[in-house]
């Protein structure tokens, strides 16, 4: 599909060319269980009731997912009683059925909290307001049983999306494994289940996300962990491309667009060699369209105030945030 003028996803938009209001985005360099809990405190005020924590639990023995001890500490100290939530995969593999998925969860060590597979007992439809591809999205039926959602995301590259941030974690991760994910990935009647790509894929995925975040309203928040950022998604498991991008830190916001935009800005603020692999993945897949379409759908702001919680909540630039990062050593 040819993108409309101004909507091409392969061109990074510098901050000074953006318009609109600014949201608050928090940043820490502290990649640890303590750092994760500390930054969550900044954006968790509206999380209450029955809480779902959406994260990618990974394929068997996947090396790059958020460390289990970090998640365990967060749940025990900040979100007691919350459930980790997932959906089954669209492709045949270790998470294709609920039975296979639960075995993979055990292998990967997700045994310290209840993991609710949202589409284990079927699907539910959520409306997509203002979408051009969908008027509804099909999600795992259990999603509707929660009052609040925490998108706890391992920020990384993505084979189809260019990058996988909160938008991908929710848009693909809450869509059920058979119907919703097919709506996003596949033109009906096509033999290639991944035939939808570039701008159209970004827009479909984003409309899926919008259905979920509209459902939760103010009782949703976003944390992106910029660690072990392979250009491959966690769904590729041990087959993921080697990590070459430096670890950066953790981003958190109550604005999904601001959170994902800040992560992309931090990538682009890295030195040429450090950013090359991720930038190439983002631009060749036209992943910037995730951000511009979120803005068109009024899902948040692409301008933000970046707050450094390591230094008395001072405002910093992305360039200052990544100053001094060291090359990745696996």
State residue 236's pLDDT score. 66
Helix/strand/coil percentages in the chain, nearest 5: 35, 20, 45
State residue 237's pLDDT score. 66
Q: Tell whether the model's pLDDT for residue 277 goes beyond 70.
A: yes
Residue 273 in tokens:
């060699």
Q: Tell whether the model's pLDDT for residue 16 goes beyond 50.
A: yes
Average pLDDT over residues 317-321: 98
State residue 1's pLDDT score. 41
**High-pLDDT (> 70) share of the chain, %:** 97
Q: What is the mean pLDDT of the chain?
A: 95
Give me Rg for the CA atoms of the chain. 18
pLDDT tens digits for 207-252? 999 999 999 999 999 999 999 999 988 676 677 788 899 999 999 9
Relative to beta strand 123-127, strand 162-164 is: unpaired
State residue 241's pLDDT score. 84
Q: Is the distance from CB of 54 to CB of 169 less than 8 angstroms? A: yes
Higher pLDDT, 8 or 14: 14
In this structure, which topology does domain 24-321 adopt according to CATH? Rossmann fold (3.40.50)
Phi, psi of 282 (to 5 degrees): -65, -50
Tell me the DSSP string of 52-113: EEE----STT-SSSPPHHHHHHHHHHTSTTPEEEE---SSSSTTSSHHHHHHHHHHTT--SS
What's the CA gap between 54 and 225, in Å, rounded? 13
E strand segments, 40-96: 51-54, 83-86
Of the pLDDT bands very low, low, confident and very high (cuts 50, 70, 90), residue 328 is confident
State residue 330's pLDDT score. 66
pLDDT tens digits for 121-161? 999 999 999 999 999 999 999 999 999 999 999 999 999 99
Tell me the DSSP string of 221-245: EEEEEESS--SS-GGGGGGSPPP-S
Residues making up the chain, counted from first to last: 330
Average pLDDT over residues 185-205: 96
Cα 27 from chain centre? 16
State residue 272's pLDDT score. 95
pLDDT tens digits for 156-187? 999 999 999 999 999 999 999 999 999 999 99
Q: Is the distance from CB of 254 to CB of 221 less than 8 angstroms? A: yes
- H or E segment and range at residue 74: helix 68-77
- H or E segment and range at residue 317: none
Of the pLDDT bands very low, low, confident and very high (cuts 50, 70, 90), residue 5 is very low
Q: Is the distance from CB of 11 to CB of 5 less than 8 angstroms? A: no
């Amino acid at each position: 599909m040819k993108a409309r003028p101004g909507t091409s996803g392969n061109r990074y938009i510098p901050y000074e060319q953006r318009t609109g209001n600014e949201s608050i985005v928090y940043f820490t360099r502290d990649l640890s269980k303590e750092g994760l809990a500390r930054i969550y405190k900044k954006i968790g005020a509206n999380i209450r009731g029955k809480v779902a924590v959406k994260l990618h639990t990974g394929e068997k023995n996947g090396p790059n997912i958020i460390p289990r001890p970090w998640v365990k500490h967060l749940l025990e100290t900040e979100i007691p009683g919350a459930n980790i939530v997932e959906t089954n995969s669209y492709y045949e593999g270790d998470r294709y059925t609920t039975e296979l998925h639960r075995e993979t969860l055990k292998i990967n060590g997700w045994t310290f909290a209840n993991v609710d597979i949202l589409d284990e007992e079927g699907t539910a439809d959520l409306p997509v307001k203002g979408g051009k591809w969908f008027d509804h999205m099909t999600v795992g039926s259990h999603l509707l049983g929660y009052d609040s959602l925490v998108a706890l995301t391992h920020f990384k590259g993505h084979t189809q999306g260019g990058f996988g941030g909160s938008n991908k974690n929710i848009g693909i991760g809450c869509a059920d494994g058979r119907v919703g994910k097919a709506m996003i990935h596949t033109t009906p009647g096509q033999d290639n289940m991944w035939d939808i790509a570039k701008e159209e894929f970004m827009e479909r995925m984003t409309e899926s996300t919008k259905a979920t975040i509209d459902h939760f309203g103010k009782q949703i928040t976003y944390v992106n962990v910029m660690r072990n950022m392979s250009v491959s998604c966690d769904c590729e498991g041990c087959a993921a491309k080697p990590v070459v991008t430096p670890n950066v830190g953790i981003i958190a916001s109550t604005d999904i667009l601001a959170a994902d935009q800040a992560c992309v800005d931090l990538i682009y603020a890295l030195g040429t060699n450090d950013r090359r692999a991720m930038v190439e993945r983002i631009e060749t897949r036209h992943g910037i369209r995730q951000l511009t379409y979120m803005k068109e759908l009024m899902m948040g702001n692409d301008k933000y105030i970046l707050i450094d919680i390591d230094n008395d909540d001072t405002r910093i630039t992305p360039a200052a945030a990544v100053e001094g990062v060291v090359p990745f050593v696996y």
